[in-house]
Structure 1
Amino acid sequence: MTTALIADDEPQLLDELHQLLTEAWPDLAIVARAKSGTEARRLLDELRPDIAFLDIRMPGIDGLSLASLAPAGTRLVFVTAHPEHALDAFEHGAVDYLRKPLTPARLAATVQRLQQQGPAAAEKLRFLQAWTGNTMKLLEVDQLAALRSELRHTRALSQGGEQLLLRTSLGELMHQLDPQLFWQIHRGSVVNARAIERIERRDDGELWVHLRGLAQPLPVSRAHRGRFRSM
């Protein structure tokens, strides 16, 4: 059964989202409701739901900051009255960005998209493909160096210097990749652990990842430094 957490600091809107989700997806198990970002973070760590529906502006921790701290396996959907945060949301790997007030039709489209990412869609990818002009190019997932978010698209960078622009968000791709091998190091960057040549700690304390096939290293955000703490 697919599980979900919903978070909004306005009780009436939280109830409305719960009701609309129940109608649009009867089999979805809403395992937690949070009224603040701080509460949502605790519940995300404790329950690790499949999906989190997050408001942007919440007391304690805002939705975007919370997205950087969410478990890697949790898909994110933002539900907000603030359209100006859409770019940041997709850079955080959001599957969708819903505007308040919600409509049943718009939520139904999101539910359909999430359901298509079920067990069959979640099988580990072996190849990425994209059209360049009249030519379809294939890139073996094992040969990836990194994936970079570009709004609703993702740029795949190979260890051999090839690039593909994929019409899929980074958040969607992450659920089809092996989390033991593909590590998120920034809200818009995922790297292949097997492509890492070295980790550089600079004088200012910042961490940078050097990858095979990439001339420029990629920064590690503060939210993701814990992965490298024991290295």
Structure 2
Amino acid sequence: MNKRLQVLIVDDEELARRLSQEYLRAHPDIEIIGECETGLEAVDAISKLNPDLVLLDIQMPQLSGLEVLELTGRRSGVIFTTAYDQYALKAFDLHAVDYLLKPFSQQRFDEALIKARKLLAEQTLSSTQAIQTLVTQQSEKLQRLLIRDRGQVHVVSLESIDYVEAQDDYILIHAAGKSYMKTQSLSDLEAQLDASKFVRVHRSFLLQISALQAMEKTSKDSQVAVLKNGEQVPVSRAGYERIRALLN
């Protein structure tokens, strides 16, 4: 006997969750193992339950569906649901990931499940690649940083960041008097940020230019950036030229 597919329903609208429950009753090979109404709940449930399939709303308060995927690392076994075709429809049409455009019928729901079963059975990379593409595209338009640390999710606004420091395979984000560790390279983060606001001042440091108070020479060829909060960040020769170019 084949193993029943375990499904997690994620949607901030109760009526939408009820509809998914109703449609799933027609599929005895599927077991609903949980429901979430916020992105934060979904991050916790996906990590703990590891469902075979996630019915995931895109637009939700606190965290969007794509931000949930970014935090959990989930890249397969996802059917997106959305009421905004202008946001997702064209993107999904280009890939093998399925979507359900609200309001959707039982027939359309069943078609999505058939596609999901096939992808799960074949263990193809198409779904994984499509989701990764969407998450990357979302990350390219950063408005805030999502950081998961010891079971907690921190949402850090870009405006609050003073500087970011590279440490081995991690980056240390210094914002509003606090520090957060995130698994990401400094170069990857730099590519996602506004180059008119964040400048690479050193091989290991990325500085928000608005946090800068003054520049001080420490030796003939060395300088430090003195921040408004009193902290100091080393500045390389190339980094100094980048700062000058931004300030001029």
Give the counterpart letter for 2:108 in structure 1.
R
In structure 2, what is the Cα distance between the partners aligned to 1:185 and 1:85?
15
Give the counterpart letter for 1:6 in structure 2.
I
TM-score calculated relative to the size of structure 1: 0.52
Q: Secondary structure at the match of 2:123?
A: coil
Query: What are the Cα deviations for residues 112-153 of structure 1, in whole angstroms up to 9, with x where unaligned?
Result: 11111243x127x8xxxxxxxxxxxxxxxxxxxxxxxxxxxx
Mark the CA change 1:77 to 1:94 in structure 2 (over 3 Å): closer, same or farther: farther
Match of 2:63 in 1: 61
In structure 1, what is the Cα distance between the partners aligned to 2:91 and 2:71?
14
Mark the CA change 1:17 to 1:113 in structure 2 (over 3 Å): closer, same or farther: same
Cα offset, 1:27, TM superposition: 0.9
Match of 2:145 in 1: none
Cα offset, 1:187, TM superposition: 2.8
Mark the CA change 1:18 to 1:42 in structure 2 (over 3 Å): closer, same or farther: same
In structure 2, what is the Cα distance between the partners aligned to 1:36 and 1:28?
23
Structure 1 gaps of 5+ residues are 126-169, 176-183, 190-198, 209-218, 222-231
CA contact (8 A) 2:76 2:127 kept: no
TM-score calculated relative to the size of structure 2: 0.48
Match of 1:122 in 2: 123
Match of 1:171 in 2: 127
Q: Answer yes or no: is 1:187 the counterpart of 2:135.
A: yes
Give percent identity, aligned residues only.
28
Match of 2:203 in 1: none
Mark the CA change 1:87 to 1:122 in structure 2 (over 3 Å): closer, same or farther: same
In structure 2, what is the Cα distance between the partners aligned to 1:34 and 1:96?
20
Cα RMSD of the aligned pairs, angstroms, is: 3.6
Match of 1:81 in 2: 83
CA contact (8 A) 1:64 1:88 kept: no
CA contact (8 A) 2:69 2:75 kept: no
CA contact (8 A) 2:7 2:55 kept: yes
In structure 1, what is the Cα distance between the partners aligned to 2:29 and 2:133?
33
Match of 2:111 in 1: 109
Mark the CA change 1:94 to 1:53 in structure 2 (over 3 Å): closer, same or farther: farther
Give the counterpart letter for 2:7 in structure 1.
A
Q: Answer yes or no: is 1:8 the counterpart of 2:30.
A: no
Cα offset, 1:97, TM superposition: 1.3
Q: Answer yes or no: is 1:48 the counterpart of 2:50.
A: yes
Q: Answer yes or no: is 1:206 the counterpart of 2:186.
A: yes
Number of aligned residue pairs: give it. 144
Q: Secondary structure at the match of 1:20?
A: helix
Structure 2 gaps of 5+ residues are 138-168, 172-184, 194-248
Q: Secondary structure at the match of 2:112?
A: helix
The structure with the largest helix share of the pair is 2
1:99 to 93, 98, 101: 101
Give the counterpart letter for 2:19 in structure 1.
E
CA contact (8 A) 1:89 1:97 kept: no
Cα offset, 1:89, TM superposition: 6.0
Computing the radius of gyration over CA atoms, which structure comes out larger, 1 or 2?
A: 2
Mark the CA change 1:87 to 1:15 in structure 2 (over 3 Å): closer, same or farther: closer
Give the counterpart letter for 2:116 in structure 1.
L
CA contact (8 A) 1:7 1:53 kept: yes
Query: What are the Cα deviations for residues 14-55 of structure 1, in whole angstroms up to 9, with x where unaligned?
Result: 1111111222x2211111100111111110111111111111
Query: What are the Cα deviations for residues 137-173 of structure 1, in whole angstroms up to 9, with x where unaligned?
Result: xxxxxxxxxxxxxxxxxxxxxxxxxxxxxxxxx4256
Q: Secondary structure at the match of 1:116?
A: helix
Q: Answer yes or no: is 1:20 the counterpart of 2:19.
A: no
Mark the CA change 1:185 to 1:107 in structure 2 (over 3 Å): closer, same or farther: closer
